[in-house]
Amino acid sequence: MTKIRVRLRSGEEKDIAAQEDRSLMEALRDGGVEELLALCGGCCSCATCHVILEPGVFDALDSMNVDEDDLLDSSSHRRATSRLSCQVPVNALPDGAIITVAPED
Protein backbone atom coordinates (compact mmCIF):
# COMPACT_ATOMS: atom_id res chain seq x y z
CA MET A 1 0.00 0.00 0.00
CA THR A 2 1.13 3.51 -0.82
CA LYS A 3 0.23 6.33 1.55
CA ILE A 4 -1.15 9.44 -0.14
CA ARG A 5 -2.14 12.76 1.43
CA VAL A 6 -5.00 14.42 -0.42
CA ARG A 7 -5.80 18.11 -0.17
CA LEU A 8 -9.48 18.59 -0.85
CA ARG A 9 -11.03 21.71 -2.39
CA SER A 10 -12.17 22.79 1.07
CA GLY A 11 -8.57 22.85 2.26
CA GLU A 12 -9.12 19.78 4.43
CA GLU A 13 -6.46 17.06 4.17
CA LYS A 14 -7.19 13.36 4.07
CA ASP A 15 -4.75 10.45 4.22
CA ILE A 16 -5.52 7.35 2.19
CA ALA A 17 -3.77 4.04 1.65
CA ALA A 18 -3.78 3.08 -2.03
CA GLN A 19 -3.33 -0.28 -3.67
CA GLU A 20 -0.35 -0.16 -6.00
CA ASP A 21 -2.11 -1.89 -8.89
CA ARG A 22 -4.64 0.95 -9.26
CA SER A 23 -4.67 4.32 -10.96
CA LEU A 24 -4.54 7.37 -8.73
CA MET A 25 -8.13 8.15 -9.78
CA GLU A 26 -9.32 4.72 -8.61
CA ALA A 27 -7.38 5.07 -5.36
CA LEU A 28 -8.88 8.48 -4.65
CA ARG A 29 -12.42 7.24 -5.32
CA ASP A 30 -11.81 4.08 -3.25
CA GLY A 31 -10.47 6.32 -0.48
CA GLY A 32 -13.69 8.33 -0.31
CA VAL A 33 -12.64 11.45 -2.24
CA GLU A 34 -16.11 12.18 -3.56
CA GLU A 35 -15.35 15.55 -5.14
CA LEU A 36 -13.27 13.86 -7.84
CA LEU A 37 -15.95 13.26 -10.47
CA ALA A 38 -13.99 11.14 -12.98
CA LEU A 39 -16.97 11.14 -15.33
CA CYS A 40 -15.31 9.09 -18.08
CA GLY A 41 -14.31 6.36 -15.63
CA GLY A 42 -10.62 6.57 -16.42
CA CYS A 43 -10.67 6.55 -20.23
CA CYS A 44 -8.73 9.83 -20.57
CA SER A 45 -11.65 11.51 -22.33
CA CYS A 46 -12.56 14.23 -19.83
CA ALA A 47 -10.66 16.30 -17.29
CA THR A 48 -12.86 15.76 -14.25
CA CYS A 49 -10.15 13.83 -12.38
CA HIS A 50 -7.68 16.73 -12.59
CA VAL A 51 -5.20 16.88 -9.72
CA ILE A 52 -2.21 19.05 -8.93
CA LEU A 53 0.90 17.28 -7.74
CA GLU A 54 3.78 18.51 -5.64
CA PRO A 55 6.80 19.23 -7.91
CA GLY A 56 8.83 16.26 -6.64
CA VAL A 57 5.92 13.90 -7.22
CA PHE A 58 5.29 15.31 -10.70
CA ASP A 59 8.96 14.95 -11.63
CA ALA A 60 8.99 11.29 -10.53
CA LEU A 61 6.34 10.34 -13.12
CA ASP A 62 6.69 9.49 -16.78
CA SER A 63 5.73 12.25 -19.20
CA MET A 64 2.06 12.64 -20.03
CA ASN A 65 0.72 11.63 -23.42
CA VAL A 66 -0.71 14.06 -25.97
CA ASP A 67 -4.34 13.26 -25.13
CA GLU A 68 -3.83 14.02 -21.44
CA ASP A 69 -2.00 17.23 -22.26
CA ASP A 70 -4.81 18.35 -24.60
CA LEU A 71 -7.49 17.61 -22.01
CA LEU A 72 -5.62 19.53 -19.33
CA ASP A 73 -5.47 22.50 -21.71
CA SER A 74 -9.27 22.66 -21.42
CA SER A 75 -9.00 23.48 -17.71
CA SER A 76 -8.71 27.07 -16.56
CA HIS A 77 -7.05 25.68 -13.40
CA ARG A 78 -4.14 23.92 -15.11
CA ARG A 79 -0.80 24.30 -13.32
CA ALA A 80 2.71 23.25 -14.26
CA THR A 81 2.30 20.10 -12.16
CA SER A 82 -1.25 19.18 -13.23
CA ARG A 83 -2.11 15.61 -14.21
CA LEU A 84 -5.23 13.58 -14.84
CA SER A 85 -5.36 11.13 -11.97
CA CYS A 86 -6.66 8.38 -14.27
CA GLN A 87 -3.30 8.48 -16.06
CA VAL A 88 -1.12 8.21 -12.94
CA PRO A 89 -0.32 4.71 -11.70
CA VAL A 90 -0.17 4.50 -7.91
CA ASN A 91 2.97 2.33 -8.16
CA ALA A 92 4.81 5.31 -9.72
CA LEU A 93 4.05 7.58 -6.74
CA PRO A 94 6.46 7.99 -3.86
CA ASP A 95 5.06 6.95 -0.48
CA GLY A 96 3.60 10.01 1.23
CA ALA A 97 2.86 11.84 -2.03
CA ILE A 98 0.77 14.99 -1.65
CA ILE A 99 -2.05 15.39 -4.17
CA THR A 100 -4.37 18.39 -4.46
CA VAL A 101 -7.79 18.02 -6.09
CA ALA A 102 -7.99 20.80 -8.67
CA PRO A 103 -10.83 23.31 -8.53
CA GLU A 104 -13.85 22.32 -10.60
CA ASP A 105 -14.15 23.92 -14.05
Domain boundaries of the chain, sorted by first residue:
2-101
Instruction: Classify domain 2-101 by CATH number.
Output: 3.10.20.30
Cα distance between residue 37 and residue 75, in whole Å: 14
| The pLDDT value given to residue 88 | 98
pLDDT of 85 > 90? The answer is yes
Tell me the per-residue pLDDT of 7-65, one tens digit each, with 9 for 90 and over. 999 999 999 999 999 999 999 999 999 999 898 889 999 999 999 999 999 999 999 99
The model's pTM: 0.94
CA-CA distances (angstroms) from residue 46 to 43, 81, 83? 8, 18, 12
pLDDT of 105 > 90? The answer is no
pLDDT of 5 > 90? The answer is yes
